[in-house]
Copies of this chain bind each other. A is one copy, B any other.
Amino acid sequence: MTAVHCAADRSVPDPEVGLDADPADAGPLAGLLVIDLTRVLAGPFATMIMADLGARVIKVENPSGGDDSRRYGPFAADGRSMYFARVNRGKQSLAVDLKKDAEQVAALAERADVLVENFRPGVMDRLGLGPAALRARNPRLVYASVSGYGATGPRSGEPAYDAVIQARSGLMSVTGEPDGPPVKSGASVSDLSAGVYTFGAVMAALVGRGIHGRGTHIDIAMFDATVSFLEGNALAWLADRTVPHRIGPHHPNIAPFGAFAAADGQIVVCVGNDALFVAFAAALGAPRLAEDPLFAQNAARSANRLVLTAVIEELLAADTCVNWLARLEAAKVPCAPVNDIGQAMTDEQTEARRMRITAGGLELPGQVVKMAGYPDPAVRPAAPGLDEHGDAIRAEFGL
């Protein structure tokens, strides 16, 4: 076994959150220095998670207005962009004109553990800040690029937004009602999946640096991330070239498994196996459904989905969502209301899990990564003003 180096041993410790501090007060990434050249969503989401977990994240912004998303809605009552506040909380801001002062970024990267950027492929190279240039000066640097289509391949240079990627990846084609048009997922799945993959890839590269002693260049594409999320739909095509179509709120191979109308709205019911269907039929007050050869086994239920749905919805029409959910919960049938966003954000589980917190006085979604022995505060630091930490950082690094 060769000597191995440690994940953070070239980092610049923050005097406030240093390695000698009580770990209970510091995140798992305390001491890690991240240079953040990302804008808008996918990249900033990745570095937000790092900042939430205790890394020091220096966000480099153009001096003429900074990150475009500072001007994106929705806005808080005091005019601040919620969009910017959410994905940049806890970061430090340094204004740099990359056309004139790229060397400032190179100097920071020389002392950093991680650099993340989401410019169009080629832009960083033209600025003299590409992975080859910066890794030559700091071989232990983990340099991560996030882009729509990745740094390679014929579409590498094409412009991409979340909706473009949801369309080209096939995701839109399988989202929507069977007889309706394709729709986008209500979430920015392509941006955010790429963001979380970038977070994980950077962490994996730091673990790899501890094992192999060197950094790397990570190349994450929103397109790849979304293709990986197709899962069952992709597998259906790969298995026998079946092109899956939209099936609305249902499951391709399991029934009943999806959304059903009750008297005053919709509920989701997931009957994953035949034993559960017996319990479900009893809770509906129609236990003999489970003995009907049309419905007794999942393969038959799946083949007779339309008939089954009609039968279920006829029964559900007799009562309200709340009452049916109470009966189904008692019968241990997995189920849920189709919550609107307000109901979801005020669900008792959202509160209990600290998935609603405040940062800089604004209410924002919390941090998903919960780890014992590390903090998960209900009050987090604000997103920075443009160049808010510029003077201190320029002095500290001699820029």
Contact = CB atoms under 8 A, between A and B. Distances in A.
Interface in A190-223: 192-193, 196-197, 199-201, 203-208, 210-212, 214, 216-221, 223
Interface stretch (A92-100, A248-256, A304-312, A391-399): A248-256
Interface string A341-368: 1111101111011011000001111101
In this complex, the member of A30, A246, A250, A268 whose beta carbon has the largest number of chain B beta carbons within 10 angstroms is A268
Interface stretch (A58-66, A159-167, A285-293, A379-387): A159-167
B9 A353 contact: no
Contacts of A186: 171-176, 185, 230, 233, 246
Interface residues of A, number: 163
A258 B373 CA distance: 44
A83 interface: yes
A297 interface: no
Nearest to A369: B201
Contact of A207 (B8, B175, B363): B8
A177 B175 contact: no
A336 to B, nearest CB: 4
A329 to B, nearest CB: 8
A50 B64 CA distance: 41
A268 to B, nearest CB: 4
A169 interface: yes
B233 A49 contact: no
A354 to B, nearest CB: 9
Contacts of A168: 268, 336-337, 339, 344, 347, 349
Interface stretch (A69-77, A102-110, A121-129): A69-77
Top 6 closest pairs, chain A to chain B, by CB: A28-B208, A174-B186, A200-B200, A170-B344, A203-B203, A153-B352
